[in-house]
Structure 1
Amino acid sequence: MARPNRFFRFLLTVTGVIQVPFVLAAREALHRVGTSEIVAWLGGLALGAVGFFAFVGRARNIMNDVKRPYARVVLEDLPYYVHWCACLWCLVPSILYVLIAPAWDLAHGRSPELRGGFFMWTYAAGLVVCGYGVTLRRWWFVVREIEIPVRGLDPSFDGYRIAQLSDLHIGALTPKAWGHRWVRAANAAAPDMTVVTGDMVTSGTAHHDDIADIVGALRAPDGVFVSMGNHDYFGEGEPLISLLGDKGARVLRNAGALLERGDAKMYLAAIDDTWTRRADMALALEGRPDGVPVVLLAHDPDKFDDAIERGVDVVLSGHTHGGQIAFPFLGRYINASKLAHRYHIGIYRRGDATLHVHPGLGTTGPPMRLGVAPAVVILKLRAV
């Protein structure tokens, strides 16, 4: 911590900035209960300082997520992150209010004034919305079934079911018990094959054994296959790969596996993480037989265009979490990940090729979801 990296400094800066609307909200609340102006200001500033330094105390877990008693997480960490997210919620409305309100007053012949009630009620609304997003919406997952047409797929594979899990981010804020709920849902769907498309880890290595237990509990006749994501290397990735193998999962790193139904064949391939420059798609596809449909596991959906050029039929990705925060009922079109990704959630088709970007199951960054449900996705391949 003596030499914080750029990302850490960015988080500290954001955390400091978003305390400003909270200070104004707290000042107004204290003033309304009868404290003097100076006491209200000092109290608001003190609460803002507590909010900032409480984040600094948690920052060590961002890049090295250690195990903590879940009761402590529920009683300490989750309430703090409700506050943090509520502060973030306040930021844009507060900036707009500061810019617009004085001009509005002047236009109506009044002296410019910033009314503390705006900040107080905006923060209060943020607590309600973010309390839902940090607790219930993160926990409440759905099971979704999607059909994918595959040209050239042998009728023997028509209706082939693939359970896809992605972005589990198991850690202190996303406990092992949640992972086993997802596993039970995936197994209950009776898939032919189950895949995990990366980012099983939040950060560090402390939760590797829990992740291996979760993935090892997945069941499918044709096996459980895993591709690695960038967070899986936030720490040492090799021990996790070994643990997964011990539990019966096949971690495909720039490699493939041939699936057969009598004389019919389908090729499953997976690339390693692109962010750490381990991915080699040419190597992953090297063993595919001519004329055989290919399903590719690629954590990063931005590899879809490259996969199309190489004749891949179906790409299964994750990484984006669908933004985690999206406009309700319009999450496909208005979500945070659209700012950085061309392919951000759901199904995309280019010619005969199909990409599915999984919405994820866990969270990173703010431990909150709004408008983007965690999901266990069952993909049914259809011969066309």
Structure 2
Amino acid sequence: MLTGTYSYRIERFWYQINEVQLKINNLPSVFNGWKIVQFSDTHLGFHYGIEDLKSVIKIINNLNPDIIFFTGDLIQIGNSNPEVSIPLLQELKGHRGGKWAVIGNHDFYTKNQIINVLDSADFTVLLNNHDFIESNHQRLYIAGIDDVMYGNPSLKKSVEGLLEEDCVLLLAHEPDIADESSKFPISAQFSGHSHGGQIRIPLFGPVIRQDWAKNYVSGIYYVGERRMPLYVNRGIGTTKFPLRFYCRPEITVFHLTN
């Protein structure tokens, strides 16, 4: 009973801020020292509501990010009113590089509605395409793909027209696509979806293993011959069971360095 109470009432809301020094070899010099904050998998509607999200928004803004990444699953399947999150998401400030997002597998069933919500909250939503942040005549490209599980993702389209020397940061909800994305001219990938396993047993590991998040579950990895950095964020909310154990919800702060 005590473990269940702790997992449901305490750890689910005990947000961990992970600081990561992210080295990117071809990072343009002007972006050296910039700060990216990533959050993911809020799953609004599954034992988690707008009032719960308010503290996350406050934490992120207090981190003073230059860029904000949201890597999918704004809602839990069945949530028919994601629009209530717009005013809160509008409060997020990516001071120099804006706010960027992709959709997740739970978002897919109301895909257009979620895209409209994120657009209304001033996020740039990426679906097999890219855009860029420019500072002092140097560019940092942000690419994103459609949901891997249910959408029509195209890594090729997402980086079409870019050169090998361009610095490209990829948002992809499901992390295991990194085995493919590492073959493209992509400098680093940012993902969610796994929830870190959500319930982790010491000496055993994650209990819940999501499809497309079985190879890469939590934290930093270096993938493929090019050793592309991949970061898997444990997410904010939960799915299947409203519990977290030895797997706190995560907000990640990346300090970019070349």
Q: TM-score range by the shorter chain?
A: over 0.9
Aligned equivalents of 1:290 and 1:323: distance in 2?
A: 34
Q: Per-residue CA shift, 1:214-237, capped at 9, x if unaligned? A: 322211121111101000023x22
Q: How does 1:228-243 map to 2 (within 5 A)?
A: 228-234=103-109, 236-243=110-117
Maintained 8 Å contact 1:150/1:352 = no
Query: How many residues were matched structurally?
Result: 253
1:77-126 superposed Cα distances (whole Å, 9 cap, x missing partner)? xxxxxxxxxxxxxxxxxxxxxxxxxxxxxxxxxxxxxxxxxxxxxxxxxx
Pick from 187, 191, 216: which aligns with 1:317? 191
Which residue identity does 1:377 align to in structure 2? Answer: T
Tell me which of 100, 116, 119 is aligned to 1:225: 100
**Corresponding residue number in structure 1 for 2:236:** 361
- Normalised to the residue count of structure 1, the TM-score between the two structures is 0.63
Match of 2:21 among 110, 125, 147: 147
Conserved 8 A contact 1:337-1:344: no
Distance 2:80 2:11 in 1: 26
Query: 194, 197, 206: which one pairs with 1:335?
Result: 206
Amino acid at match of 1:282: K
With over 3 angstroms needed to count, the CA separation of the structure-2 counterparts of 1:205 and 1:129, relative to structure 1, is closer
**Contact persistence 2:201–2:207 (CA under 8 A):** no
Q: CA shift at 1:285, angstroms?
A: 0.9
Q: Which amino acid aligns with 1:211?
A: S
* 1:290 Cα deviation from its structure 2 partner: 4.5
**Counterpart in 2 of 1:212?**
86
* RMSD of aligned residue pairs (Cα, Å): 1.7
Instruction: Answer yes or no: is the 8 Å Cα contact 2:36–2:253 preserved in 1.
Output: yes
Asked if the contact 2:20/2:254 (under 8 Å) is kept, the reply is: yes
Name the one with the larger strand percent: 2
What are the within-5 Å matches in structure 2 for residues 142-181 of structure 1? 142-181=16-55
Structure 2 CA distance, aligned partners of 1:159 and 1:230?
Answer: 33
**Is 2:239 aligned against 1:345?**
no
Considering Cα pairs closer than 8 Å and 6+ residues apart, tell me whether 1 or 2 has the greater RCO. Answer: 2
Alignment of 1:1-384 (within 5 A): 127-221=1-95, 222-234=97-109, 236-328=110-202, 334-337=205-208, 341-350=214-223, 351-383=226-258
CA contact (8 A) 1:170 1:207 kept: no
TM-score (norm 2): 0.92
**Alpha-carbon distance between aligned partners in 1 of 2:98 and 2:175, rounded to the nearest angstrom:** 23
Deviation at 1:254, TM superposition (A): 1.0
Alpha-carbon shift at residue 338 of structure 1 (Å)? 5.4
Aligned equivalents of 2:20, 2:208: Cα separation in 1: 21
Residues 45, 79 of structure 2: 8 Å contact kept: no
Once the two structures are superposed, residues 323-350 of structure 1 have per-residue CA deviations (whole angstroms, 9 ceiling, x without a partner) of: 101135x7xx711245860101000013
Q: List gaps (5 residues or longer) in structure 1.
A: 1-126
> Whole-Å Cα distance in 1 between the matches of residues 67 and 233 of structure 2?
16
**In 2, are the aligned partners of 1:201 and 1:211 still within 8 Å (CA)?**
no
- TM superposition shift of 1:172: 4.9
Gaps of 5+ in 2: none
Give 1:178 deviation, angstroms: 1.6
Counterpart of 1:147, as a letter, is: Q
Distance in 1 (CA, whole Å) between partners of 2:106 and 2:120 is: 21
CA deviation after TM superposition for structure 1 residue 146, in Å: 0.7
Pairwise CA distance, 1:246: 1.9
Cα distance in 2 for partners of 1:193, 1:157 equals 11
CA distance in 1, matches of 2:161, 2:65: 25
3-state SS, counterpart of residue 231 of structure 1: coil
CA distance in 1, matches of 2:253, 2:188: 14
CA separation of 1:321 and 1:310: change in aligned 2, threshold 3 A = same
Assess, with a 3 A threshold, how the Cα gap between structure 1 residues 193 and 134 changes in structure 2: closer, same or farther: same
Q: Is the 8 A contact 1:322 1:336 kept in 2?
A: no
Higher helix share goes to which structure?
1
Runs in 1 of length 4+ with deviation above 4 angstroms? 337-340
User: Do the aligned residues in 1 keep the contact of 2:83 with 2:117 (CA within 8 Å)?
Assistant: yes
Cα distance between partner residues in 2 of 1:339 and 1:264: 38
Query: Which protein is bigger by CA-based radius of gyration?
Result: 1
